Chain A
Amino acid sequence: MTDPILAVSNLSVDLKREDRKRRIVDNVSFSLARGEVLGLVGEAGSGKSVLARALVRAIAPPLDIAGGKVVFEGRDILTLNPRGLASVRGNRIGFIGANPMGSLDPRLPIGNQIVEKLRCVQPGIGRTEAREKVLDLLGRVRIPSPSARFHEAPFQFSGGMMQRVMIVDALASDPSLVIADNITQPLDVTVAAQIIRLIDNLRQSLDTAFLFISSSLPVVAQIAERTLVMQRGRIVEEGRTADLATNPQQTYTQTLLSRIPPIWRDVTAPVATTGEPVLTVDNVLRTYLVRRRGSFNAYNEVKAVRDVSFTVKAGENFGIVGESGCGKSTLTRLLAWLEQPDGGRIAFLGKDLSHLSARSLTEMRKSFQLLLQDPYGSLPAGMPLRRMIEEPLLIHGIDRTEAARRAQEAMAEVGLDAELAERLPVGLSAGQRQRINIARALVLKPRLLILDETLSALDQVEQAELLDLFTRLQATHGFSYVFISHDLALVRRMCHRIAVMYLGRIVELADNTTLFEHPHHPYTRALLSAMPTLEDNRFPRPRYLLDGEPPSPIDLPLGCSFRSRCPRAERDCEKTDPPLLSLAGDNYAACLHRHMAPHEEEVANVE
């Protein structure tokens, strides 16, 4: 075997604050062969990103490299002179970060910035030559019409497209190593899957090694042959990714694996229940007007929510899933009656909310409560916990002693220590903060909780605890929940019925088992195929994963709005925009051609 291109030995990084020292990266050693993809997995705070930066010596106070060697192509990066370092960073080693939208100067065309970088690290290269090279790469990462997009600034790109641009930026100098630090984390599942597929294709033609860092083992498993598991700054396990996934040696790796929720293997999906309807949504529409660029007085219509109907029954968990821009957030605002629909109606306990007087609406609001995503921004920082939890009661005119009593009960019920009552929220964990939010909703004795990505800011452990809490509360109070989420695994675990949204519309509405095992809409299949899993995906990517990104909600394709990306679109799809058509059971799909999934069809034909 040839020499490794990167050999790290006993690398340590300290965090120095005044006279205290904390070790962030602890005695890490590993090596990376030419053209290899090495995965690095660890939870938030395990020191992965610091390690990534230490490899290119981009460590600034209060962090400090305490010792070790990073030998790259025969030279120790940690002892290189500034000139030597400049010849490596951005040149022989490319770096892609987790924030594609913030990685380039927001004012300047992306093409010029990549050319600038390329000419900085390789002064020998001419302007035209550099330009050609960047254009070629933009084409290879499959950015549509590269010569036009070359001149666009970062804000004109979506997150996924911008991450492709950053891949071009890293690859422009033909590096022999690319460090990819959590690059799929901010992206939607299908876009993340596209990026992984792209990198997988590129490295086969480029002979570039990748250090692929992520907090999720399933994500890393999609691409890395070998994986390092990092915990509290140490590499606790190293091995072939497949072995790690099936036969982990260390307890930490086992714990990591046990926290990955199953999707198909050994799942008992929640079965749909019957009950009286709590929330009824009928043909709801919401359109925003946005001034057309470069015009004096013309507006574009953004159809954020189109023709959405569903009911949520008592004691039911209803899931709404979809990718960014699908209208989830607008729908949340409508459900919580923060905004009123332009058309259609939303009825709660049989009463149309738009017909209620202001007073009875306020009364009604007690019964449906919204829980938000950001546990930090959603709590007033200067208010003691008890007061925070009492506040909704005081707003609804309940006297102080009663409010105090109920707040105390609620705190106990959500598992907040009574000692915390007089404390400010400073220093509380994200999970504890969400418990406060739950308590604030709980005191009003609601019937329905709307959870808008409520758990996505939490780590796996906290998430699991809160899900247990939700289940317990449902058992005691008979709540209904609406889970609005991009996290399919969570929805799989919790929801009885699930709606999949695409471009403002529900494209499929089905019970849990049907949706995950025999989905009818091609978009649902694409979503499932994009999920990073360690199990065998029932919807293999080469067949089901979509290309490109959703069209702009300003000009929707005529006919079926999914037509432009649908692998099975036919003539009539151009003419008819299918409404939700009813299927067996209480399931619906908005597709004119409700085929079985292709691979299931094949099996059926053989039989």
Chain B
Amino acid sequence: MFVLSFLLRRLLQGALIILLVTFIIFTLLRVVPGDPARLIVGGMAPDEVVAMKAKELGLDRPIPMQFVSYLGDIVTGDLGTSFVRPKSGASLGGASFDDATREERAKVLDLILGTLPMTLQLAAVALALALLVAVPLGTLGGLYPGRWPDKLALAIGSICVSTPNFWLGIVLTLLLSVKLKLLPAIGYRGFSYTILPAIVLAVEIVPFILRTLTVSVAQVMREDFIQLAPIRGLSRSRTILHHALGNSAIPLINLLGVQLGMLLGGVLVIEFIFDYPGLGLLTINAVLQRDFPLIQGIAIFISVMFVMINVLVDLIAMTIDPRLEY
């Protein structure tokens, strides 16, 4: 019962947030210069063709009207059609307005859903790598504050946080794929293409996990129930594994909720560097091509994911710590 009411409340809040985001994005895209109708029909089209297209797409109506009809479409799952991208996948918009292939535009939703698995795969591998390194190191750092594991954790965190991802991407490519020929780097033709961008992304996440975990483990270790555990007869390993880690995980999980959102942002640059065909690359290209429906669609989609991830994170945190239900 509790979970239901919690979900109901949080999802309603989420819907409100998404509505706001949609509105802001929609308005911003309408006030920036650049006429989408002109873009669709091509630079060489006569003015009346542009006007006709605008009328056909409803772009001549006032912005609030356009917004309402757009909302109506979203609710039915229709994020619109790309201005530029044909269904075939090639993304070049020609300048002539009577190009026969133009009518076959790709659906925004299809474009997003097509690239999403790639990005999710990248994010998951990056997160797994980051956790693999940061959890043991961060825990050790928290267990021995002021001693070498703590200092090591701090040093690694500082190095990672101050390494620019684009530089690291290029250097790693040079080292691992050009010089040592261990991993492929550019494009995507199999799982091995995910590893290199995932490493770069992981380096970005590691310092946050490391810092949060070190601090929260150190803090939990000073709590009375941990100090009392040996006197109650619990072994040290049991105390740490069952009690200290569980309690330190809560701040970490909350952080990960926010981090997953940032991960989606970090993906932009990294996918671009590695020409990795994910959501990030799609976004950058959409922006470069002024493909409004696609930009809108991605932004809304990401805000939906953000909301869902945060609801999920709170649910997980609650199962770990029942106090949070109150």
Q: Complex: how many Å from CA A56 to CA B230?
A: 10
B147 within 8 A of A: no
CB of B233 within 8 A of CB of A89, answer yes
Within 282-325 of B, Cβ neighbours of A (below 8 Å) are at 320-323, 325
What residues on A are CB-neighbors of B246 within 8 Å? Answer: 105, 107-108
- CB-nearest residue of chain B relative to A152? B322
Complexed CA–CA distance, A86 and B231 (Å): 9
- In the bound complex, what is the Cα–Cα distance between A86 and B235 (angstroms)? 8
Q: Knowing A105-B246, A296-B8, say if A97 contacts B224 (CB, 8 Å).
A: yes
Question: Quick one: which of A95, A102, A294 contacts B231, CB cutoff 8 A?
Answer: A95
User: Which of A90, A293, A295, A296 is within 8 Å of B232, CB to CB?
Assistant: A90
* A293 CA to B258 CA, complexed, in Å: 26
Interface status of B167 (Cβ within 8 A of chain A): no
Complex CA–CA separation, A30 to B235 (angstroms)? 29
Most buried by B among A99, A106, A117, A121: A106
| CB neighbours of A107 from chain B (8 A) | 246-247, 320-323
Residues of A within 8 A of B323 (CB): 106-107, 153, 155
B276 to chain A, nearest CB (A): 39
A105 with B235: in contact, given A97-B224, A153-B322 (CB under 8 Å)?
A: no
Smallest CB gap from A85: residue in B:
B230
Given contacts A102-B224, A104-B225, contact A117 B322 (CB under 8 A): no
Report if B76 contacts A (CB, 8 A).
Answer: no
Q: Which residues of A contact B88 (CB under 8 A)?
A: none
A91 contacts B by Cβ under 8 Å:
yes
Q: Are A106 and B232 in contact (CB under 8 A)?
A: no
- Say yes or no: B228 contacts A106, CB within 8 Å: no
B234 near A293 with CB under 8 A, answer: no
- One digit per residue, 1 when the CB lies within 8 angstroms of any chain A CB and 0 when it does not, for chain B 224-251 equals 1100101111110010001100110000
Which of A58, A89, A293 touches B325 (beta carbons < 8 Å)?
A293
* A120 with B235, Cβ < 8 A, contacts A58-B230, A107-B321, A296-B5 known: yes
The reply to whether A106 and B238 contact each other, CB–CB distance below 8 Å, is no
Given A106-B225, A155-B323, A293-B326, A95 and B232 contact (CB-CB distance below 8 Å): yes
Contacts of A120 on B, CB cut-off 8 Å? 233-235, 238
C-alpha gap A294/B6 in the complex (Å): 7
CB distance from A271 to the nearest CB of B (A): 46
A173 within 8 Å of B (CB atoms): yes
Number of A-B contacts (CB under 8 A): 74
Q: DSSP majority for the A interface?
A: loop
Instruction: Using A105-B246, A296-B9 as known contacts, say yes or no to A117 and B225 having CB atoms under 8 A apart.
Output: no
- Give the residue of A53, A97, A105, A293 whose beta carbon is less than 8 angstroms from that of B247: A105
Q: Does A103 contact B (CB under 8 A)?
A: yes
Residues of A close to B321: CB separation below 8 A: 106-107
Closest chain-B Cβ to A399's Cβ sits at a distance in Å of: 47
Given contacts A153-B322, A153-B323, contact A117 B232 (CB under 8 A): yes
- For chain B, the bracket of interface size reads 20 to 34
Given A90-B234, A153-B322, A103 contacting B228 (CB threshold 8 A): yes
**How near does chain A come to B314, taking the closest CB pair, in angstroms?**
15
Report A88-117 CB contacts with B as 1/0, cut-off 8 Å.
011100010101001111111000000011
Indicate whether A169 reaches chain B with its CB closer than 8 angstroms. yes
Report Cα–Cα, A11/B1, bound state, in Å: 57
Q: How far is the CB of B180 from chain A (nearest CB, A)?
A: 46
Contact of B231 with A90 in the complex, beta carbons under 8 Å: yes
Known contacts A97-B224, A153-B323; decide if A106 and B231 are in contact (CB<8 Å). Answer: no
Tell me whether B231 and A89 are in contact (CB under 8 A).
yes
Which of B5, B232, B234, B320 contacts A294, CB < 8 Å?
B5
| Interface flag for B191 (CB, 8 Å) | no
> In the complex, what residues of A have CB within 8 A of residue B2's CB?
293-294
Bound CA–CA A116/B229 (angstroms): 11
- A90 to B228 Cα, complex, angstroms: 10
Known: A107-B246, A116-B242. A169 touches B1 (CB 8 A): no
Smallest Cβ-Cβ distance to B9: which chain A residue: A296
Of A58, A89, A173, A295, the contact of B5 (CB 8 Å cutoff): A295
The docked-state distance in angstroms from the alpha carbon of A52 to that of B150 is 32
Interface status of B223 (Cβ within 8 A of chain A): yes
Residues of B near A295 (CB, < 8 A) are 5
Taking CB atoms, residues of chain A closer than 8 Å to B233 are 86, 89-91, 117, 120-121, 173
Q: How far is the CA of A155 from the CA of B225 in the complex (A)?
A: 13
Q: Which residue of B lies closest to A88 (CB)?
A: B233
Proximity string of chain A (157-169) to chain B, C-beta cutoff 8 Å, 1 when within and 0 when not: 0000000000001
Contact with A along B132-175 (1 / 0, CB 8 A): 00000000000000000000000000000000000000000000
B225: chain A residues within 8 A (beta carbon): 102-106
Cβ of A116: which chain B residues have Cβ within 8 Å of it?
234, 238, 242
Tell me, rounded to whole Å, the shortest Cβ–Cβ distance linking B220 to chain A: 10
Q: In the complex, A169 Cα to B325 Cα: how many Å?
A: 26
Contact with B along A127-170 (1 / 0, CB 8 A): 00000000000000000000000000101000000000000010
For residue B241, give the distance in angstroms from its CB to the closest CB of chain A: 12
Does the CB pair B224–A294 fall under 8 Å? no
Name A56's closest neighbour in chain B (CB-CB).
B231
A102-B226 Cα distance, complex, nearest whole Å: 9
Shortest CB-to-CB span from B232 to chain A, Å, is 5
Chain B residue nearest to A114 (CB atoms) is: B232
List, in ascending order, chain A residues with CB within 8 A of B232's CB.
Answer: 89-90, 95, 117, 169
In the complex, A503 Cα to B228 Cα: how many Å?
Answer: 34
Q: Please give me the residue from chain A that is nearest to B223 by CB atom.
A: A102
Residues in B with CB closer than 8 Å to A155 are 322-323, 326
> Do residues B224 and A99 form an inter-chain contact, with CB atoms below 8 A?
yes
With both beta carbons as reference points, the residue of chain A lying nearest to B235 in the complex is identified as A120
Chain A residues near B5 (CB-CB < 8 A): 294-296
Give A322-351 interface residues, CB cut-off 8 Å to B.
none
Q: Please, how many angstroms separate the alpha-carbon atoms of A91 and B247 in the complex?
A: 26
A294 and B322 in contact, given A90-B231, A102-B223, A107-B246 (Cβ under 8 angstroms): no
* Chain B, Cβ-Cβ closest to A97: B228
29 cross-chain CB contacts under 8 A: A53-B231, A56-B231, A58-B230, A58-B231, A86-B233, A89-B230, A89-B233, A90-B230, A90-B231, A90-B232, A103-B225, A105-B225, A105-B243, A105-B247, A106-B225, A108-B243, A108-B246, A116-B234, A120-B233, A120-B234, A153-B322, A153-B323, A155-B322, A169-B232, A293-B2, A293-B326, A294-B2, A296-B8, A296-B9
Question: Chain B interface (Cβ within 8 Å of chain A)?
Answer: 1-2, 5, 8-9, 223-225, 228, 230-235, 238, 242-243, 246-247, 320-323, 325-326
User: Contacts A95-B231, A102-B223, A107-B321 given; 13 further ones with Cβ under 8 A?
Assistant: A53-B231, A58-B230, A86-B233, A99-B224, A103-B225, A106-B247, A107-B246, A117-B232, A117-B233, A155-B326, A294-B2, A294-B5, A296-B8
Closest 4 CB pairs of A and B: A90-B233, A102-B224, A294-B2, A121-B233
